[in-house]
Amino acid sequence: MLYTQMGRDLFDSLQQLKEDKDIRVLVIIGFGERSFCVGADLKERNGMTKRQWKKQHDIFESAFQEIRDFPYPVIASINGYALGGGMELILSCDLRYAASHAKLGLPEAKLGIMPGLGATQNLPHTIPVGVAKEYLLRGNQMDAWRAKNLGLVNDVFFKEKLEEETLNIAREIAKNAPLS
């Protein structure tokens, strides 16, 4: 779940990691097997003033931009639900691998809010525009196999193998010439 301190920590970690010359690939893995990230902590958001919300939004906007600008490949290992801000997080990554039980979507339309961290631009650049519009406007979820067929995820693995396979791919990439 995306909450303010998590956004700060993500931004700070990315700032430190991008300076580490030993890093060749960054893999973002959700904790547990049920979800990668289910989006914003709406309970935290409900108690915020507009100014507090804007400050929080700026933190996440900066963190996600750091992912997109990271000097090395960034891989999302999607071990379950990636919804709302979680979907926007994976769209910020260079490569995406999903567990077979993963569900991805942007439910904001059903909540009366707007995807605000790049999904309205990044999703249509990743999958066909008409399909992207449908998911943005309807707020529905897609399963991992549909996401693979659309090109949103690079591959799908059984949940028991997801982390191992994702890390194997990261190692393979890391072995390549550093400037390429």
The DSSP secondary structure of 25-36, one letter per residue, reads -EEEE-SSSSEE
Q: Which of 61, 108, 134, 160 is catalytic?
A: 108
Separation between Cα atoms, residue 107 and residue 112, nearest integer Å: 9
Residue 88 annotated to the active site: yes
Separation between Cα atoms, residue 14 and residue 158, nearest integer Å: 29
- End-to-end CA separation in angstroms for the chain: 34
Q: Which of 33, 44, 66, 88 is catalytic?
A: 88
* Among 1, 28, 2, CA closest to 13: 28
What CA–CA distances, in Å, run from 42 to 2, 39, 137?
9, 8, 20
Separation between Cα atoms, residue 41 and residue 68, nearest integer Å: 22
Residue 160 annotated to the active site: no
* Among 94, 101, 102, CA closest to 170: 94
Secondary structure percentages of the chain, helix, strand, coil, to 5 = 50, 15, 35
Residues with a catalytic annotation lie at: 88, 108
